[in-house]
Amino acid sequence: MIETWTEEHDVLVIGSGFAGLSAAIEAREAGADVLILEKMRAYGGNSIISDGGIAAPATQLQEKHGIEDSANKMYDDMLTSGLGLNDPLLVRTLVDTANDAFEWSINYLGVEYLDRVDIFGGHSVPRCYTAKNISGATIIKKQIQKIQKLNISIVYSSFVKGLICNSAGAVCGVVVRKGYDYMNPDKGSDIFIKANKGVIIASGGFSSDVDFRTLQDPRLTKSLESTNKPFATAEVLRQAMEIGAETEQLSSIQLGPWASPDERGYGVGPQFSEYIVFQYGVIIDPTTGNRFVNELADRKTLSDALLSIGHPCIGIADSKAVTTSGWNIDHGLKKKVIRKFDTLDELALFYSVPIEKLAKTITDFNQSALHGIDSLYGKPFIKNSAPIKNPPYYAMRLWPKVHFTMGGLKINDKTEVIHTNGTVITGLYAAGEVTGGVHGASRLGSCSITDCLVFGRIAGENAAQ
């Protein structure tokens, strides 16, 4: 039992990424006194290093670009990619409020997006919007401006060590290591902070927590790199489990198929592979010169296909694809993650691909592109797709990295955390990557930011009641 609370607030939010900041803003707007606890010395978590891609159906931007879409289509896409393991109510909530969250980011936060709509693997139509500068920082900075305007405090170097429950089992506060230093975890001292209305867990995923992720999926040892920041770890998830929280699909861990083994972390390559190669180009196995997958398949299908090949594969696109896409790839070329070749022969020589096989693969693919049907793997040819025949050619090696954890705390559509006995844990809410159920077996590209904004906002509104 806690004898001395150091301080008290209506709502405590753990984490300052998309989900935590959305929750804090809504809780404050609902009249609550809110404190955000952040273990690191800066705000933003993984959110700030993301690409800032958000998905929503039936938006004004889609209408402007002549794209027909609906919440039902997005619902079907998410369930297909999630292999039906998603919690249908959470998916329904997400697709029905995604456009509202997207509009909120534009009209309330003031986020600016590029005037384009992209399609990523597993989406049946283009419905992904990219924040200006192709960065999550564009969204986070606007959220922080709002946090400041609303006089919400964020305390840094404040590591949440434990959740405190009252005698009735309701969460009523947290233990915090104040003055925490990531490089020296023993630094600082413990304080107790009381939550009069609720605690919102928005502590992100656990892709960098090698111990916890190998407990869930033994293949994901330290031999596999992660795209996440090194502090994307599972301690708050574990703390919630200790007080009886139910979890969902912890072993559903997503690998990013667009990653390059020729750079550390997320790097600059994925913008080329995901926005250009997967949409307009091909992926080949360098030992055979053959394609082996629908390049626009969802991330799980693509990563599993790459892992089953057993070695890095090559993503290829031509100069027309680069121009059509509208993306600048100079950075990737400068870092030598992306390579440029005047001919396919040069490309084949560089990556030791049998040239005749590669030539046949490209010819077959080009025939398919002309007829609009990929008879081999069923890749959909999107608007402005064209045969790969315009030099120079661009290529990048592909090998998956641990990217996103679909599994996490079980919540209901009010973001209340569910106990293993099926009841709600009073006073405890969760949103963002720390939760499970929204994405099932595999998350579609751009759907995490939607998830964080939609459920972060719901958590804030409900915790403030």
Ligand X SMILES: Cc1cc2nc3c(=O)[nH]c(=O)nc-3n(C[C@H](O)[C@H](O)[C@H](O)COP(=O)(O)OP(=O)(O)OC[C@H]3O[C@@H](n4cnc5c(N)ncnc54)[C@H](O)[C@@H]3O)c2cc1C
140 close to 72: Cβ distance less than 8 angstroms: no
SS3 128: strand
Q: CB 434 → ligand X: shortest distance, Å?
A: 6
DSSP 360-401: HHHHHHHHHHHHT--TTT-----TT---S--SSEEEEEE--E
Query: Site mask, ligand X, residues 251-270, x = CB under 6 A?
Result: ---------------x----
| Alpha carbons 463 and 27: distance in angstroms, whole number | 7
Q: How far is the CB of 423 from ligand X (least distance, A)?
A: 25
DSSP 8-state symbol, 131: B
Residue 213 designated active-site: no
Residue 447 binds ligand X (CB under 6 A): yes
The token pair that represents 114 in the structure block: 């590029």
The Cα–Cα gap between 135 and 65 comes to 22
Nearer Cβ to ligand X (178/340): 178
Number of C-beta neighbours around residue 151 at 10 A: 9
Residue with Cβ nearer ligand X (203 or 252): 203
256 in Cβ contact with 403 (< 8 Å): yes
Among the listed ranges 71-79, 320-328, 392-400, 431-439, the one in contact with ligand X (CB under 6 A) is 431-439
Query: CB–CB of 269/260 below 8 Å?
Result: yes
Contact 405, 254 (CB under 8 A): yes
Residue least distant from ligand X (Cβ): 17
Residues of this chain, 207-246, that bind ligand X according to CB under 6 A = 227-228, 231-232, 235-236
Residue type, 373: I
Of the residues 127, 291, 299, 397, only one is catalytic, namely 299
The answer to whether 213 and 226 are in contact (CB under 8 A) is no
Task: Give the one residue of 26, 27, 45, 93 binding ligand X; rule: CB under 6 A.
Answer: 45
Supply φ then ψ for residue 205, to 5 degrees. -90, -175
Angle at 2 between CA 43 and CA 233, to 5 degrees: 35
Binding mask 174-203 for ligand X (x = CB under 6 A): ----------------------------xx
Of the residues 10, 11, 16, 268, which one makes contact with ligand X according to CB under 6 A:
16
| Distance of closest approach, residue 238 Cβ to ligand X, in angstroms | 10
The binding track of 46-65 with respect to ligand X, each residue x by CB under 6 A or -, is xx-xxxxx------------
Q: Does 17 bind ligand X (CB under 6 A)?
A: yes
- Whichever of 203 and 462 has its CB closer to ligand X, that residue is 203
Instruction: Report the residue number, 102 or 266, with the smaller CB distance to ligand X.
Output: 266
Residues 83-142 that bind ligand X (CB under 6 A): 136
Three-class DSSP category at 322: helix
Binding residues for ligand X, per CB under 6 A?
14-20, 37-40, 45-47, 49-53, 136, 159-160, 202-205, 227-228, 231-232, 235-236, 266, 404, 432-434, 446-449, 452
Please list the active-site residues.
Answer: 299
